[in-house]
Structure 1
């Protein structure tokens, strides 16, 4: 007789583990294959590499139609910046053909075509020159010479501008490499990377001799262009576009050497530019946090703040205060706190005056008066807006209540006519809304109340009447009061 030995629990657990991990590994492999298929650029409507290269090479050239479209888009953008219209600026970015030479440089580096790099750089220079000159001519003759907020936004790059240019460049070259050209991707890249407004701002700086606008805007434009080209190089190499083949090995070596020098001359300054942008953004963020957390006083207000980042010198935080002056001990305390915000090599300048602004420099007195008046008007406007909103809500609620009472009053007459036909034994009827109180419930309730006069001999028909009235009024919560 065969005897079955006791089961070993450890063997059972070991068997479960032996099947679990292979299944988990298989699931992970399948999931990885699924993700690779989702992000694969080789299978998804990929255009022929030579076709894409030809289209980008064609968009590099600025003459004839391309040149006139560029000039007109520059003028449209200049008008938008001049009148501070975001919609007009976006429209100009949609029609501007600026991406061609920039992506051409990246493509040339990616496929080892020094001829394409030279051609793209030449057209890039022409593009920048025509754009700046056309914009400068417009701003020179326009009667509106004041710098609007749309202009001021284009004078100093941030790290986010570099990110937008890099990711926008990736989107642009990927869209170019598809058979359908990415649909709306390329116009979207033109808007996102915002290449046109900095050129127009540089033209404004040239026309008004405001060179901080000129150099700041060109700096932003150059930074965006470099990161778009960098994204193009990376994508072209990833897609394995065919590189230029040279018959003469010496010429190939020389061309590769030229490209290496060009890449170094481009990448090294861009690293310093990106580092400067990062440090400036870091300084601005820390300075604003420092001001927000340390200058919130009951009787003193920060009227204006000027943040000046100096990479090779002491940066400056210049604050203008109005109200009760801060004493020296408190100012010294603020200066000691700056180190906690990463502002060690920074000077704190506080301009303050109590009460009237007599004796203050003219420009600062005007600034105090204007800003304070603006803040007061803004606060009054917000209060009036809030009060008006509350009043409108109250009026709406009262109107709804009034409409309910009027509708119920009108319905009462109609319902009584129907009652005379269907329930002739009812001698009197009244319908209205009444406030109802209950001893157990402290809150009051408003209910539709029906007051009915009915003879004793017909009182047993009240339930039928109640059901009919609820259906007739479309209201389940009705309180009935009977007189007999």
Structure 2
């Protein structure tokens, strides 16, 4: 019993009259509330335009749209026709102002791309229904409690009333009807299920009726409310099921590619998984993949619940077709590639030789400097000796000295260089 007592709300309940008055005050849109709504719409539209979640969240926090929606739910719960009419009028007025403001903004904005923040509001599903419903429960319970805390701002963010309304304006401004319908449907989902959560909670908390309805009228109102909720709910269930199926297809397709789509001497260049059309497109580079290997791969689709999937294999540069050696085009292409490979190898060898020559020259300079400190600098490089009768490879070197060397020392240096670099002949010039 002690655990059950922890869930009771009696001790924290606000006075019913104060709660009703608070919701009454939040319903009306004029003066401050109206200007805050307009500014919140502009902020949310800017956030969607530049794809900034932080700006969109800021707009949700200052939005006053929750007021008339909770007013609709409470008005039905306590049979307050005045509150219901007032909330309904102000809800339609606020939605109209918001839609008009966002449409005007996106019509004059130079940025017309649909970023992720916009696209996220165009495909509502059953999960959005659950978010709106539980958000509405949290909102009305917090409003009815003395310990409100920061629940209301959190509910405003979770239920996200502003972004879908602004996205609907984006759809109108850019003449994209699917965006408008998807976003406006999400806005209606939030409206209906926040109001429904308010109605149910108010009845459970036993808010006093303003006018006691007779049983026939109460039954009729309940039927209308639940009919609206069901009509709003049904499409979202279909969209939710569709999302689950797409996620499942994506997961199975990725596992299939990772486990099965591996070919020897090939590597996967590109992978495209389209859950809408149930199609997997794989692009490979390397050897030509045989038809039998592709057929075998397709036969494994059923092992991953992908029997109805269309698998496409594209080959990026399968020019090494070993089975087509007698084909003239293949031979020409193969020869051209071989020639290019040889040219690249030759250039690489020459470049490597230059690097090695530079390293050798640096090392020899250090060695000769250690033996003859008077050496200031030197030049050492291979060359060609040419005259009328011969042409042969020789090395030439120019050694600059701080102090002169005698003839015996010069001969010793020359012979040492010839042995050090393994040259048949070397021409050395000593510069003082």
Does the alignment reach a TM-score above 0.5?
yes
Offset at residue 326 of structure 1 (A): 9.0
Distance (Å, rounded) in 2 between the aligned partners of 1:222 and 1:38: 34
Contact 2:125 / 2:237 at 8 angstroms: preserved in 1?
A: no
1:284 and 2:246 correspond: yes
Cα deviation, 1:352-400, whole Å, max 9, x if unaligned, reads 421069xxxxxxxxxxxxxxxxxxxxxxxxxxxxxxxxxxxxxxxxxxx
Distance (Å, rounded) in 1 between the aligned partners of 2:73 and 2:113: 37
1:242 and 2:208 correspond: yes
Give the TM-score normalised by the residue count of structure 2: 0.65
| 1:218 paired residue number | 184
- Distance change in 2, residues 1:350/1:135 (3 Å): farther
| 1:41 paired residue number | 9
The 5 Å alignment of 1:358-369 reads: none
Which of these residues, 284, 293, 304, is aligned with residue 323 of structure 1?
284
Contact 1:61 / 1:101 at 8 angstroms: preserved in 2?
A: yes
Offset at residue 162 of structure 1 (A): 2.4
The 5 Å alignment of 1:404-415 reads: none
Contact 2:124 / 2:236 at 8 angstroms: preserved in 1?
A: no
- Distance change in 2, residues 1:221/1:326 (3 Å): farther
SS in 1 for 2:278: strand
| 2:255 paired residue number | 293
SS in 1 for 2:10: coil
Offset at residue 116 of structure 1 (A): 2.9
Distance (Å, rounded) in 1 between the aligned partners of 2:300 and 2:4: 54
| 1:139 paired residue number | 106
Cα deviation, 1:129-187, whole Å, max 9, x if unaligned, reads 2112111111111111111111111111243322222221111101111235x121101
Distance (Å, rounded) in 1 between the aligned partners of 2:297 and 2:134: 44
Which of these residues, 232, 240, 259, is aligned with residue 221 of structure 2?
259
SS in 2 for 1:120: helix
Deviates more, 1:77-86 or 1:269-278: 269-278
Contact 2:134 / 2:197 at 8 angstroms: preserved in 1?
A: yes
Distance (Å, rounded) in 1 between the aligned partners of 2:84 and 2:296: 59
| 1:65 paired residue number | 32
The 5 Å alignment of 1:56-455 reads: 56-180=23-147, 182-246=148-212, 252=214, 255-256=217-218, 259-296=221-258, 297-298=261-262, 299-300=267-268, 303-308=271-276, 316-323=277-284, 329-330=295-296, 332-333=298-299, 336-337=302-303, 340=305, 348-355=309-316
| 2:363 paired residue number | none
Unaligned runs of 5+ in 2: 319-432
Distance (Å, rounded) in 2 between the aligned partners of 1:118 and 1:349: 54
SS in 2 for 1:323: strand
| 1:397 paired residue number | none
- Distance change in 2, residues 1:238/1:139 (3 Å): same
Distance (Å, rounded) in 1 between the aligned partners of 2:273 and 2:82: 50
Offset at residue 226 of structure 1 (A): 2.0
Distance (Å, rounded) in 2 between the aligned partners of 1:239 and 1:300: 61
Distance (Å, rounded) in 2 between the aligned partners of 1:332 and 1:113: 64
Q: Alignment length, in residue pairs? A: 307
Distance (Å, rounded) in 2 between the aligned partners of 1:50 and 1:302: 64
Distance (Å, rounded) in 1 between the aligned partners of 2:105 and 2:296: 50
Contact 1:114 / 1:258 at 8 angstroms: preserved in 2?
A: no
Offset at residue 229 of structure 1 (A): 1.7
Which entry has the higher C-alpha Rg, 1 or 2? Answer: 2
- Distance change in 2, residues 1:139/1:243 (3 Å): same
Unaligned runs of 5+ in 1: 1-31, 309-315, 358-484
SS in 2 for 1:84: coil
Offset at residue 331 of structure 1 (A): 6.3
- Distance change in 2, residues 1:212/1:35 (3 Å): same
- Distance change in 2, residues 1:225/1:354 (3 Å): same
Deviates more, 1:185-194 or 1:252-261: 252-261
- Distance change in 2, residues 1:258/1:326 (3 Å): farther
Contact 1:102 / 1:229 at 8 angstroms: preserved in 2?
A: yes
SS in 2 for 1:168: helix
Give the TM-score normalised by the residue count of structure 1: 0.58
Offset at residue 222 of structure 1 (A): 1.5
- Distance change in 2, residues 1:81/1:174 (3 Å): same
Offset at residue 67 of structure 1 (A): 1.6
